[in-house]
Chains A and B, each alone.
Chain A
Amino acid sequence: MMRTPAGHKVYAMAAEYPSAAALYEAAKHVRDAGFKRWDVYSPFPIHGMDEAMGLGKSWLSGWVLFGGVTGLLTAAVVEFGPSSILYQLDVHGKPWNFWTVPAFFPIMFELTVLFGAFAAFFSMLGMNGLPRWYHPMFNWERFIRVSNDGFFLAIESHDPRFTENGVRELLERTGGEHITIVHED
C-alpha cells in the first residue's frame, strides 16, 4: 500500500482533461500502456469510451433476460394456477379449456416487462456497486466538477503497473492537467 509523506493511503493518481475528446485520446493511451485498474469520469457517457478503455459489452443484459424469463414464468404460474386448478371460473359459459391460453398472454407480457425492468434497474445499481456512501475520488476538490463539465482520469495505485513517476509521465504526455495523488481516506 502506497502512502503519501503525510501518511495518507494512496488511492490513485488522477488528472483532469480539458475536453471529452482529450479524455478519449488519453484513455486509448492508458489502455495501450496495459493498465487494468483505472477509470475515466465524465458528466455524460462518452460515445466509444468503452472501446477506448478496452471494456467489452456490458452483460447487464443477461440479468434482464433472467428477469424477463422470471416474469414470464411468474405470470404463467399466477394465471394457470388459479384458473386451471384453484378456481376454475366459468364466465357466461365461455370456454375455459387449454385453448383459451391466448387470453393469458397480455398479463404474461406485462410481467415479463415488469420483471425485466426491475432487473435492469437493480442490476445497474448492483453491477456498479451503488448506492455507496463514499468514494476516494470525492476527496479531490476538483472532482466536484465531474457532474458539471469536468473530465477526469484516474489510475489506481493497486494496478500492478503503477509507479508514481511512470503514471505521472503518462498522464502528462496525454495532456492531463492538475495531476495529483488522490487519497483513500
Chain B
Amino acid sequence: MSHATRDHLGRPVVVVTGIGIVTSLGEGKQDNWRNLVAGISGVRQIDRFSTEGLRTQIAGLIDWQGDGPYCSPVHSLTLARKSASEAIAQSKIGSQGSFPGPLFLAISPAETKWDQRMDVYKSDNSDNSTGYERLIRNASQGDFHHYYSLFQYGSTAEFLAGEFGTRGQPISLTTACASGATSVQLGVEAIRRGDTDAALCVGTDGEICEEMVVRFTLLSALSTQNDDPQGASKPFSKTRDGFVMAEGSATLVLESYDSAKARGAKILGVVRGTGERADTFHRTRSKPDGSAIIDTITRSLADAGMSPADIDCINAHGTSTPENDKMEYLALSAALGSELDNTPISSNKSMIGHTLSAAGTIEAAISLMTISNGVIPPTINCHEQDPNILMDVVPNVKREQPVSTVMSNSFGFGGQNVCLIFSAEPD
C-alpha cells in the first residue's frame, strides 16, 4: 500500500460504495429520490396509537414494514435491516452474512415502553402489590426473556452484527439528533486510522410512541399544525412552529478508496471531511453567538481541505423549529461569509420529518444522491420564508444543477454538533 491514495493530510481517502434508505417517503433509494425531488411529504396523522389529548397528532410514521404489532426495538431493527441490506447489496462488499468491517449504529437509547410495562404489570395481579414492586415480581416470575434481550442498550447492534457478520464488537452510539452523522464520523476515523478498510454506518429510529411525543411536546419542540400534516414541517418559514417527528433508517458502506478500487467497486462519493464541536451553553439550545456551530462548520472545511467557495450546496439540519433554523442561518452566514449567497440550502426534513437518531445518516445518503443526480431536492412548505433568514433555501421546487460537493449539518440536544462534507469521485 505504499502508493495508497491519501488526502491533503496524508490520510487514506474514504469513499462511499453503498447507500440504503427507508423513510416515510418509501423504501429504497428509488422511491425516496422520486418523492424527494417531487416535493412530496411523508407526514400524516398518527394512527399507531390514540392521539386523543395530545397537542401533536402527526408524524412521519413507517407502518408498512410488516414487523408485527408495534414494538420499538423490533421496528428500529427492521428499518435498519432494510437500509443495511440495500447498502450492502449495492456495494457488493464481502459475502452473504460477512461484512469485512465494524458496525457503527446510531440509535435512540433503548427503553422499555408502556406496552411492555403494562404487559408485565397485568401478567399477575394475585396480590395487592402495586407499582414497581409488582412489576419486579411479575418480571421475575413470568416469561419475559424476549423483552430482556430486546431492550438492552446494545440489542439492536448485536442483532445487526450477528445478521450482517460485521467484525468485532459493534458500537451503539447516541449524540441525540446528530447521532447519524456521528456514526459516519466514527467510520471515517476508523478507516483513516487504517484499523479497517470498510465500515458499516447505520442510523435507525423507529421509536414513535405516546411518551416520545409527550416528551418533545413538553419541551415545546414539536409542530402542532395537525390540520395539515403534510404542510406542518416548514423549515425556514416565517410560520414554522416546531419539528415533526419521523421514523427511518439509512446506511452507508464506507471504504478506503484503495480497497474500493482494488475490488472494482463503483464509488458513489467521497467523505471529504468531518467537523465537530460540543456546546456548553444549554441542554437544548446553542450558544447565542453560534460559536460552537460555527466551529463545527469551519472544522469540517479544514478537515476536508476546502474553502466555503468549494461547497455547492448544503443539506441543512433545518428542523423547522424557530430556534434551530435561526441559529443554523446565523452560523452558516458567519462560517461561509458571502459565499452563503451563492449556496443553495435545502432541508429534506420538510418532506421526511425529523428522524432524530437516523437523521444524520439519512441526510448523508440524500447528500450523496444529490451529487449523483445533479438535482437539489426542495425545501417544501416554504410559502413565506422567514424574512430574517436570507438564504436560498430552494423553496418548494427542486433545482437541477451540477453538484460536486455537499455539506450536511446535524445538531442535537446536549450541545452535539457535527458537520460532514461529501463530494463526487474526482475524475
Are chains A and B native binding partners rather than an unrelated pairing?
no
Chain B residues close to A by CB (< 8 Å): none
Give the B-binding residues of A (Cβ under 8 A). Answer: none
